[in-house]
Amino acid sequence: MDKYIRKAKVIRVVDADTIDVEVSLGYDTYTRQRLRLMDVDAWEVRGEERVLGLKASAAVKERLPRGSSCYVQTFKSDKGKYGRYLARVFYKMGPNKFEDLGEYLLKDGHAVKYGDK
């Protein structure tokens, strides 16, 4: 297993590309972190993009309800401009099947590649 892939519990979906999680570090040790999806720029929940942003956030909440488990992959020393760790987030699709949340958002039109707005 990659040393930067950890199991996490969803605390809150802030918006479509930002989530609060409790990450398991092993040995009953946990850390709460705000994560920003890497390489994805979802529609904002405020301003001109509000309607698209609320729809994108709802799609994430459907896939990552509060208290659900997911896997997060962080990258050494990669923090965004607001101090959030940049991460890939994987949610369960079925038995032994996970999907990358960022890839889903891009594929379903809820986001664009970071830097493309």
Tell me the pLDDT tens digit for each residue of 71-103.
999 876 667 677 788 999 999 998 889 999 999
Measured distance CA(10)–CA(109) in Å, rounded: 23
Positive or negative, the CA dihedral 101, 105, 111, 115 is positive
**What tokens were used for 108?**
């379903």
User: pLDDT tens digit string along 7-29?
Assistant: 999 999 999 999 999 999 999 99
The pLDDT assigned to 78 comes to 64
Q: What is the pTM of this model?
A: 0.89
The hierarchical CATH code for the domain 5-113 is 2.40.50.90
Confidence of residue 1 (pLDDT cuts 50, 70, 90): very low
